[in-house]
Chain A
Amino acid sequence: MKMKCDDHNPSYMAPCSRRAFIQTGAAALPVLFYGPTLLHPVEDAQKAGLISTNYDAVKDIPRTATSMPGSYPGVVVEVTDKKVFKKDVPDKKRVRIMVEQGMIKLTGKRNVRDAWKVFAGPEDVVGIKINPAGGKILSNQPVLIREIIRGLEKAGVQKKNIIIWDRFEMMLEEAGLSQETFPGYRLVGIQQWNTEGTNRTEEGKHISHAMFDPEVYYEADVEGPSNEEYFNQHMVSGTRSYFARLVTRDLTKIINVPVMKNAGNSVTMALKNLAYGVINNTGRLHKDLWARMMGEVCSFPCVRDKAVLNIMDGLAACYDGGPMGVAEFVYRPQTIYFASDPVALDAVGYDRIIAKRQEMKVKTILDDRYKSFLVSSEKAGLGVYDAKKRRLHQIVCS
């Protein structure tokens, strides 16, 4: 198949004004709010800052050669093919070319095999962290997962050491991932959740108890409910969220494959897919700590040192209604993003989603609070948020 991909590689455009404003389809409203000065300053940031966590215990653990932001800090490659969809399904051959172009551009290697070998090799056990939370309307495109697997196998990763995983087993099934669709590969949901019957063993522990590592946990002084419903889904109540054994003990590398989605006026992409996917007892962490915990959880060495590559699925995306898949707001950027730096990737994704929201005349509040997770993750040393230090390479395939 003849396909041409032009490497645009422009200088990255810094995001638009940091002044907070709301734009509507009619005349733009004046600036309503900027910065922390308020009539009654009870901010998320202030509230979150009052909650103590065990981040200090991990933040100074020495980094390794593969620690975030990885081999290409601040670099994001954006590959677009406006013809990738054929009858509502991405074309396999076109996706392959997109992935190859993206990997070669990111790594600067001469061929695809060498590009993938930067991130994994024959000795590795690689987990592909997917994002099926959007259901069948907006989860990872299976064709992209297959291309990632193909790339890993080119790099010498053995089939038995490639694991497609997510937090909830049932979500894998609902997103159409099964042994039928991925024969011979391990599909792991680190957590089971029986919606009927008990989720307890005879000893009273959660049925997925053994999937989590009792020695590695994120401690945060905020608790969820201690009722049976919360236990069913979150496994424990209390102040600790335990990391999955898959992450702490089994995997040597993680390929993070988020889906490009908004979350209100913010986004849920690479950092969220990792942070909320590797631990349990997360219900308590959404409200006040969501921005801060992403950087803190990803700072644990089992994530920081293993999540070597992020490939964001922007073949289909949502600009509103996220992270649920609401069809009204799903659109097709027909784009795949590549980065070793999850902060830079999320920063680019944020700009893209905001631009789309403005294009579609969705009320959009531009305020630092919606990017605070980027700032705190950069501060944690996980990547580059500062637009002046980022580089975006754009490739357009036709």
Chain B
Amino acid sequence: MRKKEGCIKSSAVKLLLLLFLLPCTASFAGEDIPGKLSEEDFFPGWRKEGKTKIVSAEELYGVINGGAELFLEFGFNRLVLQRYLKKDHELELAVYEMKDAFAASGIFLIKRGRGQPAPGIRGENIFSRYQALLRQGKYFAIITNPPGRKALEEEMMALANLVLPILGTPEKPAMLDLLPSEGMEPGSLRLIQGKLALETAVFFPDGIIDFKACEGVYADYPFNGKTVAVLRLHCSTPDARDEQCTVLCAEATSGEEASSPFLCAFTLTGTKASYYLFREGKVVTILTGGIEKARAVEFYKERLLK
């Protein structure tokens, strides 16, 4: 028992030293991820198992099968894979380099569910004894502890803290500022670049929203006994925004009001739900959730109007 305690203390000291060494790794940020991961002593105490693998967009299906579609929708560059072994313990690291921070955040928000972060990880994360999900800049990373050994939790966190700085600096996608965090239903926040991401949040028929010209942010808000679903689209040009509004208001049940962001109310055939469209600058907002127009306008003015 004494020997074991001594070993634990020694390991804790080593971990602390390791964490203090983190600033030294900042110079390896971004592009050199494979190079950094290939270094033998990148993760002290553990040895690399096999070579660092780099997987391209066309090859992603072979690694995660149909799961690749979501990554490709957001914009995916490459996947870097590295496995580490220590005696009979194993940790797997997968770093998904996405097109930009919006894309990486989009993936992270979908994959995180209602998981909770580990305070010991210095960056955006969700943590369980099986996996740590990380997001930094344009990178989404997963550290997997396959059998879920509780004894490896500290080492998972240590690896996460080593990896995060080499992924570059934290960057928050600007689209997230379009929705207030106050009052947001936990786990409902989404960034949306296409129909697959949209389908994790709310259903719209194909082709109605032009994701080539617009990107979206979504969340749910409890409001006066209902849950208001909020989808905000930021379109790249005024023409794209206007075209989007034209499409959505094509079968409007009520129309524009002067001096108001409210543009129209519409329904989708086959449902009883009403949707309310607002336009303010480059942003198009769609509200729904079993509410009447007056409530939608009230919600918009109270929570979203700048």
The residue among B92, B111, B147, B271 with the most chain A CB atoms within 10 A of its own CB is: B271
| Distance of B182 from chain A, by nearest CB (Å) | 16
Q: Given the complex of chains A and B, what is the CA–CA distance between A193 and B63 in angstroms?
A: 11
Q: Is B21 an interface residue (CB 8 A)?
A: no
B contact residues around A265 at 8 Å (CB): 199
Question: What residues of B have a CB within 8 angstroms of the CB of A327 in the complex?
Answer: 128, 130-131, 144, 148
A350 at the interface (CB under 8 A from B): no
Q: Is A323 positioned at the interface, with any CB of B under 8 Å from its CB?
A: yes
User: How long is the Cα–Cα vector from A322 to B57 in the complex, in angstroms?
Assistant: 18
**A33 interface residue, CB < 8 Å from B?**
yes
* Residues A225 and B64 in contact in the complex (CB < 8 Å), given A328-B112, A330-B130: no
* Contact (Cβ within 8 A) A229 B56: yes
Contact B66 A323 (CB under 8 A): yes
B220 and chain A: residue at smallest CB distance? A24
Residues of chain A within 8 A (CB-CB) of B187 are 25
CB contact between B203 and one of A26, A27, A42, A365 (< 8 Å): that residue: A365
Closest to A193 in B: B62
Q: Smallest CB–CB gap between B78 and chain A, Å?
A: 10
Given contacts A26-B222, A39-B208, A229-B57, contact A34 B271 (CB under 8 A): yes
Contacts of A153 in B (CB 8 A): none
Is the CB–CB distance between B92 and A322 below 8 Å? no
Query: Number of A residues whose C-beta is below 8 Å from B?
Result: 66
With most chain B CB atoms within 10 A of its CB, the pick from A37, A39, A193, A272 is A39
CB distance from A191 to the nearest CB of B (A): 8
Contacting residue for A227 out of B58, B62, B185, B226, CB 8 A? B58
Are A135's CB and B92's CB within 8 A?
Answer: yes
A168 touches B268 (CB 8 A): no
B92 engages A40 (CB within 8 Å): no
Asked if residues B207 and A363 are in contact (CB atoms below 8 Å), the reply is no
B131 and A323: CB pair below 8 A?
no
Stretch of B12-20, B23-31, B47-55, B171-179 with 4 or more beta carbons under 8 angstroms from chain A: B47-55
Known: A29-B273, A33-B203, A324-B64. A40 touches B208 (CB 8 A): yes
Determine if B113 and A29 form an interchain contact, defined as CB atoms under 8 angstroms apart: no
A83 at the A/B interface (Cβ < 8 Å)?
A: no
Q: Which of A283-338 contact B (CB under 8 A)?
A: 283, 286-287, 290, 320-330
CB distance from B172 to the nearest CB of A (A): 22
Contact call A38/B58, Cβ cutoff below 8 A: no
Q: Which residues of A contact B112 (CB under 8 A)?
A: 328
Task: Give B58 Cβ to nearest chain A Cβ, in Å.
Answer: 4
List residues of chain A with CB under 8 Å of any chain B CB: 20, 22, 24-27, 29-35, 37-44, 88, 133, 135-137, 168, 170-171, 193, 195-196, 224-225, 227, 229-230, 232-234, 263-265, 268, 272, 276, 282-283, 286-287, 290, 320-330, 362-363, 365, 367
The 7 closest A-B pairs by CB, nearest first: A136-B146, A327-B130, A38-B205, A229-B58, A42-B207, A327-B131, A230-B58
| Other 19 A-B pairs with CB < 8 A, given A136-B147, A137-B144 | A24-B188, A25-B185, A25-B187, A26-B185, A27-B226, A32-B268, A35-B270, A38-B205, A44-B206, A88-B148, A135-B92, A135-B144, A137-B131, A225-B58, A321-B111, A323-B64, A323-B65, A327-B131, A367-B203
Q: Can you name 24 A-B pairs with beta carbons within 8 Å?
A: A22-B202, A27-B227, A29-B273, A30-B271, A33-B271, A37-B269, A37-B270, A38-B269, A40-B208, A42-B205, A43-B206, A136-B144, A168-B62, A170-B62, A193-B59, A233-B59, A234-B61, A286-B68, A321-B113, A323-B67, A327-B148, A328-B115, A330-B130, A365-B199
